[in-house]
A and B are shown apart, each in its own frame.
Chain A
Amino acid sequence: MIWLEFTAPAIDYARLAPFIIVLGAACLGVLVEAFVERTWRHEVQTGLSVIALLGAVVAVIAQWDSYGLADSVAGSGAGLIGFDFGSVMIDGPTQIAWLTLLGFTLLSLLLFAERSVHGGHSAFTSAAAAIPGSRSEAEATSAQLEHAEVFPLALFSLAGMMLLTAGQDLLVMFVALEILSLPLYVLAALARHRRLGSQEAALKYFLLGAAASGMFLFGAALLFAYSGSFDLAGLALAQTAGVGSDWLLIAGLALVAAGLLFKIGAVPFHQWAPDVYQGAPTPVTGFMSVATKVAAVFALLRLFYVGLGPSWWTWRPVFVVAAIATMALGAVVGIVQSDVKRLLAYSSITHAGFILVGVAGAFTAVSLAADGTISHALGSVASITTYLVAYGCATLGCFACVTLVQSQGREATDLAAWSGLGRSKPWFGAVMLISLLSLAGIPLTAGFVGKLTVFVAAWRGGLWWLVLVAIVLSVVAVYVYFRLVAVLFFQPPRPGVEVKTPGPATVVVLALSVLGTLAFGLVPGPLTKLLASVGAFLVP
C-alpha cells in the first residue's frame, strides 16, 4: 500500500484575507438568516455586509506596501511584487481588481439595502417561492416578509469574482465563474414587481450562462489536452515550446474566449443582457452590469495575456472582430430602445466593445529597467482598469436613478415616462447628466479619461485603425446618451411620474458615483499614475 505523502502548503493568510473576509461574511450571513429574529435580519445583514466589505478594503490596503504600490504612488516605483499561491496569484492587478470590486459591490449593496424609495420595503420580492399573483404571495407581502438572503448571495457572488480575478489555473477560474454566477441567477429572479418577467430573466440567464460555462469548461479541457497543464504558466510554456496540436489550442482558445465573452456581454454572446438587465431587480442589474464585468474583464486579461500570451497573434483578430461588432451593435441598437434599463443594457454592451479594443491592443507599458523603476505609461491593463472605474461610477449612478423614477409605486423605466424629469428635479437631472456625459465620453468626466487611455494604449499597441473605428462608433454612441438627455430636459413632464426622495443609502450611492465621475475626470492623474505603476500581470 502506498501512502500519499501530504505536506500542508504554507499559506499566507494575510494576503488572502480580503477574499476570506468576504467569503466568511457570506457564510455568516447564512447563519444570520437562520438564527436572527426576522424583524432584524435586514438591518443585521446590511451591517454585516458593509462591515465585511469595509474590512476587506482595509485588508487590501494593509497589504499595499508589500506590493510596492505605496512607493509607486510616490513616484519611485519600487518594483512589482506578487504572491504566488500556485493556483492563485495576488499581484498588482489582483489588488486593484479587488479594490474595484469591493468598492462597486459596496455601492450596489447600498442599493440593495434601500427601503424608503420602495415604500418601506426592499426592492426584492416578499416570497420568492410563492407563485406570482397567488394568495400566499399576497399574505407574505402583507406580513411584510422580506428576503434578506440577497446580502449573503451577493457576497458569495463577490467572493467568486475575487477568486476569478486572482485565479491562474483554468479549473480555479471555472469554479470561480460558477461561484459568481449561481447567486446571480437567484438574485435576478427576486424582483418585487413584474415577478414573472424577473423569473423569466433569471431562467434565461441561467440557461445561457450554463451553456457559456459549459463552453468554458470544454475549452479548459481541450487546453489541458493541448498542454497537459491547467495552470496558466504551464499553458504558456506549452505554446512557446510548440508541443501539442495547434487545432486543440485553437478549439480550446475559441471555447474559453466564448465563455468569458458571454460574461462581459460581447457580441455575439450578448443577447442575454438586455432581457436580463430589464427583468432583474434594478439593484441587482447595477451589481451585475458593473461587478461582473470587472471580474470577467480581469479574468479575460489574465487568461489571454498570461496563459495564452504566446499565441496573441492568433487570438488578437478574434477580439478585434468582437470589439467592432460589439461597439457597432450596442451603439446602433441602443438608438432605438424605448426602455431606460434596456438602453443601459445596450450601453453596457457598447462599453464591452470599447474595453475589447483595449484587450486587442495588448500594449505592455510596464518595463522594468535595470534600476527597478517602472515606466509610468499606461498599458492595456491599466487603461482598461481606468475605463472600468469610469464605467462603473457612471453606470451605478444611472441605475441608482432608475430606482427612483416611479409611477404608481413601481419603477417607471419607459423612456417616455422620463420626460422632463431633469427640469422638474434639477438634482436628479444633474446626476443623470453627469453620468450620461461620462458614459458618452465627454471631456472633464471620467468616461473621457477612460476612453482616452484605452484608445491610446490600443494605438500604441499598433491597432490605430481600430481606434479610428472606435472613435467613429463612440460618436454614434453619444447619440444614444444625448437622446436620453434630450428626453430628460427638453420634453414636457408626464403626469403621474415622480422622482422619489432617495433614502440615505441611495444618497450615498448617488453622491459617490457622481463624485467619482467628476473627480476622475477632473483630476485623473493620481488614479492613472497608481494604475500605471501596478498595471501588469506577474507571470509565475
Chain B
Amino acid sequence: MLTLETLVPTVASGSFVWAWLLIALPLGSAALLLVAGKAANAWGHWLAVLAPLASFALALVYFIDLLGRPTAERSVRDQVYSWITTGGWDFSLALQLDPLSLLFLLLVTGVGSLIHIYSLGYMAHDPNRRRFFAYLNLFIAAMLILVLADDYLVLFVGWEGVGLASYLLISFWQERPSAAAAGKKAFIVNRVGDLGLLLAIFTCLAMFGSTKFTVVNAGVGQVSSGWAAFLGFMLLLAACGKSAQVPLQTWLLDAMEGPTPVSALIHAATMVTAGVYLVVRSGAVYAQAPSAQLAVAIVGTVTLLVGAWIGCAKDDIKKVLAGSTMSQIGYMMLAAGIGPAGYAFAIFHLLTHGFFKANMFLGAGSIMHATDGDVDMRHYGGLAKVMRITFVTFAAGYLAIIGLPFFSGAYSKDHIIEAAWEQQPVLGALALLGAGVTAFYMTRLMLMTFFGHKRWREGVKPHESPAVMWGPLVLLALGSAGLGMVLNGWIGRWLEPIGAEAPAHASWLPDFSNWLSFAVLGVVAVGVVIAWLVFGRRPVPDQPPQQVSPLTTIGRHDLYVDQAYVSGIAGGTYALGNGLARFDDRGLDKAVDGLGLGAQGAGWLARRWQNGYVRSYGLTMLIGLLAVGVVLILTQLV
C-alpha cells in the first residue's frame, strides 16, 4: 500500500539552503511596510509587488531543480532553525520542498504575484494602500509557512497566520460595520476549526512524541484505529473551518466584504484550499481511518451541493462566486476523501480552480471598478460590449468552471466525478448533479452580467479597466483555458511520491472513452439550457422577484444556517453568558471582593512581618529553622 512520505527527504544543499528566503522576503516586506509607516506610502506597494515575484522566481528555480531529479530524490528538507533539541525534545522549524508543497508554492507565489499587480490598479486610490499591501505580503508569507512546513506545529503557525491575514483583510475597510463584523465572523468560525487542529497536534504529541509529518505518518499505523479516527476527524474539523466546508461554511459569504483582490487570492485561490492540502498531507492518517475518510468525502459532497445551491439564489456577483468557491472546494474534498486514488485530482482541481476562480474574481473586481463598486448583478447587463477584455477573460473562467472540453476545469472535475463514481456511486451521482447546477448558476451569472439589456444605475458609465488590471486577467485566463491540458498528462506522476495514485487517463486530450464523460457533458448542457431559458430569453427583472420557489428563498438565506447558529449556539451562549454574568455579579464579585480584602490583609500582614527590624527577621529565621526541623521529623514518622 502506498503511504505518504515514502520519500526520505534529502538534506538541503546548493540553492535549497536559501529556501527560507521564500518566506522571509514577503515577511520582511510586510514588516518593513508596517514599521516604516507613512514614509513607505510612496513606494511601499512596489516593494510589496516585488516580494512575491522574487519568491516566485526562487520557487521556479526549485521546481526546475526537482524536475531534473529522479523521482526518489524529489523531497528536500531544509532545516532553518532548531529551537530546542535535547533529549527527547526536538522542536525545529524546517521547510520541506516536495512535489506537493512545490505545486502550492508556485500557485501561491504565481497567482499571488498576479493579484498583487492587479491590486496596484484596484487599490490605487485607497488611502490605506500601504497597509493593504503589507497585509497581502503577510498573507503570502504565512501561506508559504503553511505549505512548506514539515511538521504540524509549524503548519499551525502558518495556519493561524493566514487566519490573521484573512481577518485583517476581510475587515480592511473597517469603517464599514458590515466589514468589521464579517472579519470577526470569519475569525471566530475559524477558531472552531483551529480547535480541531490543536487537538490533532496534542494527540500527535501524546501518541508519537513529535508532530513531524514523517514521524506521524510512520507511527499512525501502530496506534489503535480509534485514535487514528479521532485524529482524522479532528483534522477534518480543521479543514472544514479553513476551507468553509459544511458545517463551518457560513463565514465565506460574509468574507466577500473584503476588497476583491483579497477575495480572489485568499478566499478563492489559496487560503481556503488549505483544508484540502491538510487532508492530502495527512493521507497516511486517513489510510488508517476509513470512517474519517468517508466523512471527508461526505462533507465534500454536501458542501459542493450547498455551495451550488447558494450560488443559484444570490444576486450579488461576489456571493455567487463565493458559493461557487465553496462548491468547488467541496469537489476537492470529495476527491481527497476518496483516498490515494483521488489525491492527484484534488490537487489538480485545486490548481485549475486557483486559476479560473482567481480569474473570475478579478473579473468581478474589474466590473465593480467599472460600476462604482456595485455588486448587484441586477444592475449590470450588456457589459460584454463595453468591457471586451474583461468579458473574454471572464468567459475563459466560465468555460473552465462548467467544464467545457479542452478547458482546464473539464479535466480536473471529470476526474473527480469519475473517481467518486467508482468508489461510491451515490457520491458520484451527487457530484454529477453538482456539475449541472454549476453550469446553471454560472450561466445565470454570465447572462445577467454581460448580456441582456442595460440595467445600469444612473451616472454609471462602465468602461474597461486599466492595463495593470487586465494584464493579470489575461494571464489568468490563459491559465484557465490551458492549464488542464498542460497538467493532465503529468500531474499524476508528479504527485506519485506523496502517495497519490497516477490516474489511468493521462493525456492532453479529453477522455471520451468513458460514458461518464458524456454524461457530465449532457448534465452541463442541461444546466446551461435551463439557465438560458430562464435568464437569457426573458428580460431580467430590475428588482429581485418576491414570488419565488422555496428553494430560492432558502438559498437566498444561505440555507438558514446562520439563523440556526444564532438561535441555537449563539442563543445558548448568550443565555449562558447572562447566567454567568448574574452569578458573577452576585456570587463571584462578592467572593473576589473578599479575596481582595484578603489579599490586602495578607499584604498588611506581610508588611507588618517585613517590618525592618533585624530582631524580628532573626526570629523568623529561628522559627523557620524549627519548621525545617518539624518537616524533617514528620518525614521520619511517616
Complex Cα–Cα for A22 and B423 (A)? 79
New A-B pairs, 19, CB < 8 Å, besides A251-B629, A377-B86: A207-B614, A207-B618, A212-B621, A254-B625, A258-B621, A262-B621, A268-B621, A271-B609, A271-B621, A314-B635, A322-B628, A332-B606, A376-B87, A522-B83, A523-B82, A524-B83, A525-B85, A529-B85, A529-B86
Partner of A250, one of B603, B612, B633: B633
Task: Give the 3 A-B CB pairs with smallest separation, nearest first.
Answer: A268-B624, A377-B87, A271-B617
Chain B interface, number of residues (Cβ within 8 angstroms): 32
B83 touches A525 (CB 8 A): yes
Q: Complex: how many Å from CA A258 to CA B621?
A: 8
Query: Cα distance A271–B83 when bound, in Å?
Result: 38
Question: Is the CB of B627 closer than 8 A to any CB of chain A?
Answer: yes
**Interface residue B610 (Cβ < 8 Å from any Cβ of A):** yes
B629–A254 touching, CB < 8 Å: yes
**Complex: A528 Cα to B81 Cα, angstroms:** 16
Within 8 Å by CB of B632, from A212, A315, A522, lies A315
- Contact partner of B635 (CB less than 8 A), chosen from A269, A317, A365, is A317
Please report the C-alpha to C-alpha distance between residue A534 and residue B538 in the assembled complex, in whole angstroms: 86
Task: Decide yes or no: A333 and B603 within 8 Å by CB, A207-B614, A208-B618 being known contacts.
Answer: yes
Min C-beta distance of B285 to chain A, whole Å: 28
Residues in B neighbouring A265, C-beta threshold 8 A:
none
In the assembled complex, the CB of B610 is this many whole angstroms from the nearest CB of chain A, namely 6
User: Which among A211, A258, A333, A525 is the interface contact of B86 at CB below 8 angstroms?
Assistant: A525
A250 and B632 in contact, given A268-B627, A378-B86, A525-B86 (Cβ under 8 angstroms): yes
Are A318 and B632 touching (Cβ within 8 A)? yes
Q: Which residues of A contact B86 (CB under 8 A)?
A: 376-378, 525, 528-529, 532
Closest A-chain residue to B619, C-beta based? A271
Instruction: Tell me if A203 counts as interface (CB < 8 A to partner B).
Output: yes
Cβ-defined contact, B632 with A253, below 8 A:
yes
Residues of A within 8 A of B84 (CB): 449, 452, 524-525, 528
Which residue of chain A has the shortest Cβ distance to B629 in the bound complex? A254
Give B604's nearest chain A residue, CB to CB.
A336
A204 in contact with B617 (CB, 8 Å): yes
The number of inter-chain residue pairs (CB within 8 angstroms) is 105
For this complex, 15 residue pairs linking A to B, each with C-beta atoms less than 8 Å apart, are A208-B614, A215-B621, A254-B625, A254-B629, A257-B628, A258-B628, A268-B621, A268-B627, A318-B628, A332-B599, A336-B603, A449-B84, A523-B81, A525-B84, A525-B85
Q: Which of A516-530 contact B (CB under 8 A)?
A: 522-525, 528-529
Tell me which of B81, B609, B610, B634 has the highest count of chain A C-beta atoms within 10 A of its own C-beta.
Answer: B610
Q: Which of B86, B599, B617 has the most CB of A within 10 A?
A: B86
Q: Is A321 an interface residue (CB 8 A)?
A: yes
Across the interface, which residues of B come within 8 angstroms of A169, CB to CB?
none
- Verify A332–B602 contact, CB threshold 8 A: yes
Over the window 252-269 of chain A, the binary record of Cβ atoms lying under 8 Å from chain B Cβ atoms (1 yes, 0 no) is 011101100010000111
Q: Does B592 contact A (CB under 8 A)?
A: no
Q: Are B632 and A271 neighbours in the complex by a CB distance under 8 Å?
A: no
Asked if residues B87 and A208 are in contact (CB atoms below 8 Å), the reply is no
Task: Give the contacts of B97-126 with A (CB-CB under 8 A).
Answer: none
Bits for A317-332, please: 1 = Cβ < 8 Å to B, else 0: 1100110000001001
Residue B10 CB within 8 A of the other chain: no
Min C-beta distance of B637 to chain A, whole Å: 11
B545 interface hit (Cβ, 8 Å) = no
Say yes or no: is B222 at the interface (Cβ < 8 Å to chain A): no
- Is B88 an interface residue, CB under 8 A from the partner? yes
Task: Judge whether B631 is part of the interface by a CB distance below 8 angstroms.
Answer: yes
Asked if B620 and A268 make an inter-chain contact with CB atoms under 8 angstroms apart, the answer reads: yes
Which residues of chain B are within 8 angstroms of A246 by Cβ–Cβ distance? 636
Complex-state Cα separation, A376 to B88, whole angstroms: 9
- Which residues in window 500-520 of A have CB below 8 A to B? none
Which chain A positions have C-beta within 8 A of B606? 329, 332-333, 336
Min distance, Cβ B525 to any Cβ of chain A, angstroms? 58
Q: How far is the CA of A523 from the CA of B92 in the complex (A)?
A: 10
List B contacts of A267 (CB < 8 A): 624
**A245 an interface residue at 8 Å Cβ cutoff?**
no
Q: Is A208 within 8 A of B621, CB to CB?
A: yes
**Does B580 touch A at the CB level, under 8 Å?**
no
Most chain-A CB neighbours within 10 Å: which of B609, B624, B628? B628
Does A399 lie at the interface of the complex (its beta carbon under 8 Å from any beta carbon of B)?
Answer: no
By beta carbon, the residue of chain B nearest A200 is B612
A258 and B623 alpha carbons, distance in the complex (Å): 11
CB distance from B470 to the nearest CB of A (A): 45
Q: What distance in Å separates the Cβ of B636 from its nearest Cβ neighbour in chain A?
A: 7
* Docked pose: A525 CA to B93 CA in angstroms: 13
Is A204 within 8 A of B614, CB to CB?
yes
| CA–CA, A135 and B261, complex, Å | 78
Question: Are B617 and A255 touching (Cβ within 8 A)?
Answer: no
CA distance A499 to B143 in the complex (A): 42
Quick one: closest A residue to B638, CB to CB?
A: A317
Whole-angstrom distance from the CB of A329 to the nearest CB of chain B?
Answer: 8
Let me know if A375 is at the binding interface, CB within 8 A.
yes
Which residue of B has the minimal Cβ distance to A274?
Answer: B610
Which residues from A are CB-within-8-Å of B632?
Answer: 250, 253-254, 314-315, 317-318
Residues of A within 8 A of B625 (CB): 215, 254-255, 258
CA distance A318 to B633 in the complex (A): 10
A438 CB to closest chain B CB (Å) equals 15
Chain A 264-301: CB-based contact to B (< 8 A → 1; otherwise 0): 00011101101100000000000000000000000000
Binary contact track A201-229/B, C-beta < 8 Å → 1, others 0: 00110011001100100000000000000
Is B87 a contact partner of A314 (Cβ separation < 8 A)? no
Smallest CB separation, A126 vs chain B (Å): 27
Q: How far is the CB of A313 from chain B (nearest CB, A)?
A: 7
Q: Which of B603, B624, B634, B636 has the most CB of A within 10 A?
A: B624
In the complex, the chain A residue whose C-beta lies closest to that of B623 is A268
Contact with A along B72-90 (1 / 0, CB 8 A): 0000000001111111100
Q: CA of A207 to CA of B633 in the docked complex: distance in angstroms?
A: 28
Taking a contact as CB atoms closer than 8 A, the residue among A269, A274, A321, A376 that contacts B621 in the complex is: A269
Closest residue of A by beta carbon distance from B606:
A333
Q: How many angstroms from the CA of A449 to the CA of B89 in the assembled complex?
A: 12
Most buried by B among A322, A333, A375: A333
Contacts of A329 in B (CB 8 A): 606
Known: A211-B618, A251-B629. A317 touches B634 (CB 8 A): yes
A208 CB contacts on chain B under 8 angstroms: 614, 617-618, 621
Cα–Cα distance between A268 and B634 once the two chains are bound (Å): 18
List the B side residues contacting A203 at CB < 8 Å: 614
What's the nearest-Cβ distance from chain A to residue B397, in Å? 44
Which A residues are CB-close (under 8 A) to B614? 203-204, 207-208
CB proximity of B374 to chain A, nearest CB, Å: 44
Separation of A452 and B84 alpha carbons in the complex (Å) = 11
Q: Which residue of B lies closest to A251 (CB)?
A: B629
Known: A254-B632, A317-B634, A333-B603. A378 touches B620 (CB 8 A): no
| B609 nearest in chain A by CB position | A271
- List the B side residues contacting A333 at CB < 8 Å: 603, 606, 610
Given contact pairs A336-B603, A522-B83, A271 touches B620 in the complex (Cβ within 8 A): yes
Across-interface contacts of A272 in B (CB, < 8 A): 617
Hey, which chain B residues are within 8 Å of A274, CB to CB?
610
Which chain B residues (563-613) contact chain A, with CB distance < 8 Å?
Answer: 599, 602-603, 606, 609-610, 612
Within the complex, the shortest CB–CB distance from A167 to chain B, in Å, comes to 22
CA distance A53 to B590 in the complex (A): 58
Interface centre among B610, B614, B627 (most CB of A within 10 A): B614
Q: Nearest A residue to B87 by beta-carbon distance?
A: A377
Closest to A321 in B: B631
B618 near A269 (CB under 8 angstroms)? no
- B629 to chain A minimum Cβ distance, whole angstroms, is 5
